[in-house]
Each structure stands twice: as C-alpha cells, then as structure tokens.
C-alpha cells in the first residue's frame, strides 16, 4: 500500500508515532512537509522560527535521502495540496500526528473529510504529548481544571502505562524509494517571502543532565541559564517528548513543568475559546487600560523597572525569556500597567522561539488571574521584590540593561502601589457584580 506521511509538530524520524505506524503498515511511504500559507501569512518576514523550521527540514531531507528516499516540501494550503497529491500519486492513506490547537483541529477535519470523499484513509496518532485530551480526566470524565490534581493523576497514569519509544528504523525500508536524479531541492526561504538571516542562536537539541540535576534549586535565577532550553525542540518535535519525560522521571521538579505543558495542551483542546477570551467568562468584563506609549515602553524594555526591562530586552534580542521573568513581565503588564493580557500574549507570540499557543495563553491567563487555575487575582508580582529574590546581585539586569544605574535609564512609568490598588478594585468590581 502507498501512504503519505505529513510532518507537522514532529520534525524528526526517530521515535515518531505516526511515521512508525505508516512505515509498519505500508510498503511505500512518502514523507512531506508543507509550509502552511495560512500560518505563514500572519508572520513577519524576519521571523526566526521559520528559519529554525527551514534548517530542521533541510536536515530531515538529508536524512531521508540517506535512506534512498526524500522529503517533499510544499508551500500553500494543506487542504488543497494533500488531496491533490494523493490523487496524483495514487496514495491510499494519510498518516499524521495529532495537534490540539483550534486552527489545526479545524484544518485537519477539513482534510479528513476530503480524503474520505476520495475513498481513501486517514490515520492520526498521539505523539506530541504523553497523555492527550481525554486520558487524564476526573472521575466524572470531565477535564481537570486544577493543575495539582491533574498532575497527580497524570503521574498515576504513567505508573500504569510506562512510556514506550518507537524504533522507526525497524521499518525504514518501507520509505518510498526516490532516485537521486528525481530528488527535489529545498526551496530557499526567500521563495516564501522570508529572510534567511539568522539573528538569534538556536538552542542545542541536547538534554543536559547536569542542568536537570540542579534544576530544582537553580531554575528560578535568570542569570544562571539553568533551565533546559528545550522549549523550541518540544514545540516543533525535533525531540520526542517520550525521550525527555523518560529522563525527567528522575527529576521531579522538572517533570512537573513538563506536566504543565500537557495540562495546557489538554485545556486548549477542551476550551478553545480560551485562545482569545478569559477562561472564566466573568473576567471578560474587566475594564483594561489602553495606553499606546506605555505598551511601547513595556515592549522595548523602557519601563524604569530593571527586571522587567531586562526580560523584555532578552526577549527582543534572543527570542527567549527566562520563565521567572516571563511571569514578572506579564504580571507587570496586566497588573501594574493594567493592560489587556491579549496584547501582551500576542507580543510574546510574535517573538518567542518556543511560542506555543496553549502554553502562552494558559500562562498569560494564569498570571493575569483570569485562567482556570490562575494565581488568585490579588496576588501581584512585585518586580522590586522579585529582583531582590531572584537577581540579588543584579547579574541578569547588568547583562541586559547596562545603563540601569545611570542617568540614561528612565524613571518608573507607573507607581507600583497605586497601580496594584487600581487593578484589584477592577477585579473586585467584577466579582461584586457576580454577587
Ligand atoms: C507569560 C508566560 C508565557 C509563556 N509562554 C510559553 C510559550 O509560548 N511556550 C512555552 O513552551 N512555554 C511558555 N511558557 C512557559 C515557560 O516559561 C517556558 O516553557 C520555559 O521558560 C521555556 O524554557 P526552557 O525550555 O528552558 O524550560 P524548562 O524550565 O527547562 O522546562 C522544560 C520544558 O517544560 C515545559 N514547561 C516549562 N515550564 C512550563 C510552564 N510553566 N508551562 C508550560 N510548559 C512549561 C516547556 O516545554 C519547557 O521547554 C510561558 C510562561 C509564562 C509565564
């Protein structure tokens, strides 16, 4: 049988669930990747993630060629490209790994429908997470809304169903053979309207055991670079989550962070409205401020609060921001500037190399105090206390805001005490209306 395998958030051959099954079940499997024009159209021409993907696709293509096959790369709408390709090449079935975001779910359903109309088959698999949307549920079969309970059940589930990695190479001979003469070249990024100029360093695809060893005591200090930096690799599946979790089993605090990732994936699936609206509808009534100048000062790291400015500058220059500082900058944006979380969320979305809708939206809502298992609305991160605790020697601040202690540095754009009082009053007003 002839099959098509569609790479999406799983840019690897090794331990790839749908690819493994596609190879096992068919005698000729052709791998493809599509630069989805619907997604590309929303991005800036110097988007660094596209460069990351392009580089990974290039490596994948070379790997497939070693196996006497090739990765075909397209640019356009998958809904149109895939059914057409299946007809042209007389392909019986499509294999892919599941994606839990609202846009992808809708797109995949359209494709499935079109393929069924052609009397062909579609097989989709869980690969991006250990436990997917309905595998960790409450006793009444509804989703957990509190992370601690979710995590406890997630860990129990794991004890009952140990992780199995899949050895894709056992069936690699079933890749479609492509004569070197007929192999295609990877189109340069410019063909898609993107610049190929890499401005930031991409984290290595390497699990640093020393880092995991010290993670529990060092992860909150942004100057230390003590987190795994695996975000982008988990986002695009250049690393298998099963491989990472197997190692994480020895490092409890690190494992708990990976479970947050799955918690958010599960939530976005069950509550797709949360991509744009407060998880709790009530909080849609909060009257956020809007001040373009202050938003710009936040975005460019000119707020006069060094830990906030250091974080925003780290983000602007490296497309990464340390988790502790993500919390501080997001809290400052929503709770001290009183701005709508969606504006901040979109800013992170445009910049972060490891941007993931589910985790970004979930975390922003957590910080803003409007999510399903959010920090209580009255808990506001104080940037000055956070700095004293997590950057006591100003090492992180000195790196990103060298002029911090001089006349060149701006004075604070907001008063921490009164701004906190203002936002709490807004929350209280909304809660009072509820009665
Ligand atoms: C406002 C805000 C926005 C965020 N946006 C994103 C985002 O767009 N994409 C994203 O992957 N994470 C996001 N996070 C979570 C977290 O900050 C990043 O996952 C982490 O900083 C990535 O660095 P790392 O790979 O070194 O993480 P590590 O600390 O080494 O953690 C390992 C992996 O666990 C996962 N993880 C860790 N912490 C969290 C968390 N709190 N929630 C969900 N997953 C987590 C990530 O996949 C991460 O790569 C956000 C957090 C906040 C507060």
Tens digit of pLDDT for each residue in 247-294?
A: 999 999 999 999 999 999 999 999 999 999 999 899 999 999 999 999
For residue 379, is pLDDT > 90? no
Tens digit of pLDDT for each residue in 404-416?
A: 999 999 999 999 9
User: Nearest Cα to 70, choosing from 167, 191, 185, 236?
Assistant: 185
Average pLDDT over residues 6-12: 98
Residue 355 Cβ < 6 Å to ligand 1: yes
Total residues found in the chain within this entry: 435
Paired tokens of 298: 């936040």
Tens digit of pLDDT for each residue in 202-211?
A: 999 999 999 9
Asked if 125 contacts 18 with a C-beta cutoff of 8 angstroms, the reply is yes
- What's the mean per-residue pLDDT of the chain? 96
Report helix, strand or coil for 129.
coil
Tens digit of pLDDT for each residue in 33-91?
A: 999 999 999 999 999 999 999 999 999 999 999 999 999 999 999 999 999 999 999 99
**Terminus-to-terminus CA distance in the chain, angstroms?**
63
Alpha-carbon distance 371 to 100, whole Å?
18
Instruction: For a ligand 1 pocket test, name from 207, 323, 340 the mutation site with the most ligand atoms within 8 angstroms of its C-beta.
Output: 323
Instruction: For a ligand 1 pocket test, name from 202, 222, 231, 357 the mutation site with the most ligand atoms within 8 angstroms of its C-beta.
Output: 231
Dihedral angle computed from the Cα positions of residues 42, 43, 45 and 48, in that order, rounded to the nearest 10 degrees: -170
Question: Domains of the chain, with CATH numbers?
Answer: 1-127 (3.40.50.620), 129-165+208-270 (1.25.40.80), 273-429 (1.10.579.10)
Residue 367 Cβ < 6 Å to ligand 1: yes
Minimum-distance ligand 1 atom for the alpha carbon of 263: 43
Minimum-distance ligand 1 atom for the alpha carbon of 234: 47
Paired tokens of 268: 């976005």
For residue 375, is pLDDT > 90? no
Residue 351 Cβ < 6 Å to ligand 1: no
Alpha-carbon distance 359 to 267, whole Å?
10
Going by pLDDT thresholds of 50, 70 and 90, the confidence category of residue 435 is low
pLDDT at 233: 98
Alpha-carbon distance 167 to 53, whole Å?
24
Minimum-distance ligand 1 atom for the alpha carbon of 233: 49
Going from the Cα of 350 to the center of ligand 1, the distance in angstroms, rounded, reads 15
Going from the Cα of 251 to the center of ligand 1, the distance in angstroms, rounded, reads 16
Going from the Cα of 130 to the center of ligand 1, the distance in angstroms, rounded, reads 17
For residue 3, is pLDDT > 70? yes
Report helix, strand or coil for 160.
helix
Average pLDDT over residues 288-312: 98
Question: What is the residue with the minimal CA distance to atom 8 of ligand 1?
Answer: 355
């Amino acid at each position: 049988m002839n099959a098509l395998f569609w790479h999406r958030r799983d840019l690897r051959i090794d331990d790839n669930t749908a690819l493994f099954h596609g190879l096992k079940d068919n005698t000729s499997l052709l791998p493809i990747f599509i630069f989805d024009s619907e997604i590309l159209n929303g991005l800036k021409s110097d988007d660094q993630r596209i460069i990351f993907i392009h580089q990974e696709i290039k490596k994948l293509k070379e790997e497939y060629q070693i196996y006497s096959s090739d990765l075909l790369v397209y640019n356009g709408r998958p809904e149109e490209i895939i059914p057409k390709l299946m007809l042209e090449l007389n392909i019986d079935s499509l294999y892919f790994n599941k994606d839990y975001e609202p846009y992808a779910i809708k797109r995949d359903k359209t494709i499935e429908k079109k393929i069924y109309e052609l009397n062909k088959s579609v097989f989709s698999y869980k690969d991006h997470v250990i436990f997917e949307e309905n595998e960790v549920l409450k006793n009444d079969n509804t989703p957990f809304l509190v992370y601690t309970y979710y995590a406890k059940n997630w860990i129990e589930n794991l004890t009952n169903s140990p992780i199995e990695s899949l050895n894709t190479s056992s069936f690699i001979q079933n890749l479609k053979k492509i004569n070197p003469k007929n192999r295609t070249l990877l189109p340069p990024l410019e063909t898609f309207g993107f610049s190929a100029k890499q401005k930031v360093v991409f984290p290595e695809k390497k699990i640093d055991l020393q880092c995991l060893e010290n993670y529990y005591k060092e992860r909150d200090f942004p100057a230390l670079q003590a987190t795994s930096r695996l975000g982008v690799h988990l986002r695009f599946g250049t690393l298998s989550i099963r491989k990472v979790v197997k190692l994480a089993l020895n490092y409890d605090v690190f494992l708990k962070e990976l479970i947050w990732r799955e918690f958010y994936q599960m939530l976005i699936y069950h509550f797709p409205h949360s991509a744009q609206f407060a998880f709790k509808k009530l909080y849609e009534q909060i009257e956020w401020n809007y001040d373009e100048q202050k938003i710009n000062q936040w975005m460019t790291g000119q707020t006069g609060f060094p830990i906030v400015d250091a974080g925003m500058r780290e983000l602007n220059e490296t497309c990464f921001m340390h988790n502790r500082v993500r919390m501080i900058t997001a809290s400052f944006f929503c709770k001290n500037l009183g701005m709508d979380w969606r504006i901040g969320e979109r800013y992170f979305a445009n910049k972060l190399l490891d941007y993931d809708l589910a985790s970004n939206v979930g975390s922003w809502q957590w910080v803003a105090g409007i999510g399903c298992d959010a920090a209580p609305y009255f808990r506001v991160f104080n940037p000055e206390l956070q700095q004293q605790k997590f950057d006591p020697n100003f090492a992180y601040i000195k790196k990103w805001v060298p002029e911090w202690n001089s006349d060149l540095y701006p004075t604070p754009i907001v008063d921490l005490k009164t701004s906190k009082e203002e936002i709490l009053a807004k929350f209280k007003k909304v809660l009072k209306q509820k009665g």
